[in-house]
């Protein structure tokens, strides 16, 4: 199944079909405003501005499942992203990425790509485990800012750990490879 068959809700409350992004390379990210990784918004926006005309779309999905680090309403999240990081990439309504309430988009993403690529020697996973914050299910989204790379046909082709910066060479190379197709 292609993720293009899934409907989502924009941060403004409108239903949108992911089919609207057919033909684009997608980087889908679960985001949060009050996380140590929140400054990744800046790198995500820079990547978006750099690669949008080449066919990249970054889709941000706020999630409050990790220590309540996205407590605001959709309107508050939109305001924060706009005022703090000047985010112009598409943002969507808050969703759940793990557990029984997992959004169908994340059900599809995880089923297609159950394993993630982690940043070399980062220790992020060990840090979460040490604080007893890591899910027992290895396929679950680890934390805020986990990234899924989707090709122009709606197939998931990569999954990257939360602490892997959007500026990381491995992630950028994977995006470039998709854009070149």
pTM: 0.95
Q: ∠40-4-155 over CA atoms, to 5°?
A: 70
Q: What sign for the dihedral angle of Cα 64, 138, 18, 150?
A: positive
Domain range annotation of the chain: 3-179
Which residues are the active-site residues?
35
Mean pLDDT, each 10-residue run in order, the chain (181 residues): 91 97 97 96 97 98 96 96 96 97 96 82 77 83 96 95 93 96 89
The answer regarding whether domain 3-179 maps to CATH 3.40.30.10 reads yes
């Amino acid at each position: 199944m292609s993720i293009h068959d899934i409907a989502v809700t924009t941060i403004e409350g409108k239903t949108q079909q992911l089919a609207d992004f057919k033909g684009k390379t997608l980087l889908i990210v679960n985001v949060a405003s009050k996380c140590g990784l929140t400054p990744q918004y800046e790198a995500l926006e820079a990547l978006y501005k750099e690669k949008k005309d080449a066919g990249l779309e970054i889709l941000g999905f706020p999630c409050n499942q990790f220590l309540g680090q996205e407590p605001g309403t959709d309107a508050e999240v939109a305001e924060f992203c706009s005022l703090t990081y000047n985010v112009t990439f598409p943002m969507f309504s808050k969703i759940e990425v793990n557990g029984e309430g997992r959004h169908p988009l994340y059900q599809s993403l995880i089923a297609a790509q159950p394993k993630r690529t982690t940043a070399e020697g980062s220790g992020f996973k060990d840090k979460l485990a040490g604080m007893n914050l890591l899910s027992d299910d290895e396929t679950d989204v680890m934390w805020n800012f986990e990234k899924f790379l989707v090709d122009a046909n709606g197939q998931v082709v990569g999954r990257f750990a939360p602490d892997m910066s959007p500026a990381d060479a491995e992630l950028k190379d994977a995006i470039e490879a998709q854009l070149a197709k």
